[in-house]
C-alpha cells in the first residue's frame, strides 16, 4: 500500500457517515443512494492529489460530496430539481425530538420533508448542511459564499419554514 492508498483509506473511514448522509439526502432510492455514494468515493480518490490542506478535511469531503450529488442529480434531471430525503435522526433536530408520541413525530417529519422539498435548489443545499450540524463558517467554505450570506439564507429559510407550519406548532 502506498501513501495515497493509506491516506484515502483513512479519509473514507473517518468520513464515511458524512458521505452516507449526503448520499441519502440527495438520492431517493437505496440503489441511487449507493450509486451516489460510490461516485463520491471515486471523486474523493481523484481529488486526493489536489488536496493541499487549505480547508479542513471534513469541509473538503463535504465539498466533493455535495458537488458530486449535484452532478448526480443533474444526470437524472437537467432542471436540477431534486427531492430531499430526510434522515430520521437529523430531521428530529428540526422538529424537536419528542418521541413520546410517535404518530405526531412521524407527521412532523413528513411535514418537514414536504416543506423542505418545496424550497429552492440553493436552499435545499444549505439545509442539507444545516442538518449535518455544520456551523456557518463551514457552510460558507463548502458553498463558496460569505458567512453573512449563509446566516441570512439560514435565517430566511427558517422563517419561510416557520411561516408554512400552521400556527407555528413545530419548533424549528
Partner 1 sequence: MTFNNKTNNLEEPVNLDQVMDSLKKLDSRNKKLMHGMYIVYVVFALIYTGLLILNPDPELGLNRRLQGGMYVLIFSMSAIYFRYHFRKNKAVDYSAPVLEMLTAARNRHKLWTKGTVCFIIALVGLTDIVVTWAIIDDKFLADYSLIIKILLVQAVYFITMGISFLIGYITWRRKSMPLVHNLNRIIEELKKDEG
| 3-state DSSP assignment of residue 100 | coil
Residues 6+ apart with CB under 8 A from 142: 59, 62, 63, 66, 129, 134
Look-up of cell digits 441570512: 152
| 12-31: contacts with partner 1 (CB under 8 A) | 12-13, 16, 20, 23-24, 30-31
144: which DSSP letter? T
Cell numbers at 152, concatenated: 441570512
Is 118 one of the binding residues for partner 1 (CB under 8 A)?
no
* The only residue of 18, 70, 90, 160 in contact with partner 1, by rule CB under 8 A: 70
| 3-state DSSP assignment of residue 75 | helix
| 27-66: contacts with partner 1 (CB under 8 A) | 30-31, 33-35, 37-38, 41-43, 45-47, 50-51, 60, 63-64, 66
Is 68 one of the binding residues for partner 1 (CB under 8 A)?
yes
Is 144 one of the binding residues for partner 1 (CB under 8 A)?
yes
| 3-state DSSP assignment of residue 95 | helix
| 3-state DSSP assignment of residue 79 | coil
CA-wise closest residue to 129 among 118, 119, 143, 116: 143
Window contacting partner 1 (CB under 8 A); options: 75-83, 90-98, 100-108, 110-118: 75-83
Note the residues at the interface with partner 1 (CB under 8 A): 5, 8-9, 12-13, 16, 20, 23-24, 30-31, 33-35, 37-38, 41-43, 45-47, 50-51, 60, 63-64, 66-68, 70-71, 74, 78-80, 120-122, 125, 141-146, 148-149, 152-153, 156
Amino acid at each position: 500500500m502506498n501513501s495515497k492508498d493509506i491516506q484515502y483509506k483513512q479519509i473514507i473511514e473517518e468520513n464515511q457517515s458524512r458521505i452516507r448522509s449526503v448520499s441519502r439526502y440527495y438520492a431517493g432510492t437505496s440503489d441511487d443512494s449507493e450509486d451516489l455514494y460510490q461516485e463520491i468515493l471515486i471523486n474523493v480518490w481523484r481529488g486526493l492529489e489536489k488536496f493541499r490542506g487549505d480547508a479542513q478535511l471534513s469541509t473538503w469531503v463535504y465539498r466533493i460530496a455535495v458537488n458530486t450529488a449535484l452532478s448526480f442529480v443533474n444526470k437524472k434531471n437537467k432542471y436540477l430539481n431534486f427531492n430531499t430525503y430526510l434522515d430520521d435522526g437529523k430531521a428530529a433536530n428540526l422538529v424537536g425530538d419528542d418521541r413520546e408520541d410517535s404518530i405526531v413525530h412521524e407527521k412532523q417529519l413528513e411535514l418537514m420533508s414536504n416543506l423542505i422539498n418545496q424550497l429552492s435548489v440553493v436552499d435545499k443545499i444549505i439545509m442539507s448542511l444545516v442538518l449535518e450540524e455544520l456551523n456557518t463558517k463551514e457552510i460558507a467554505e463548502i458553498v463558496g459564499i460569505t458567512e453573512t450570506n449563509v446566516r441570512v439564507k439560514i435565517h430566511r429559510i427558517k422563517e419561510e419554514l416557520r411561516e408554512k407550519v400552521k400556527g407555528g406548532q413545530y419548533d424549528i
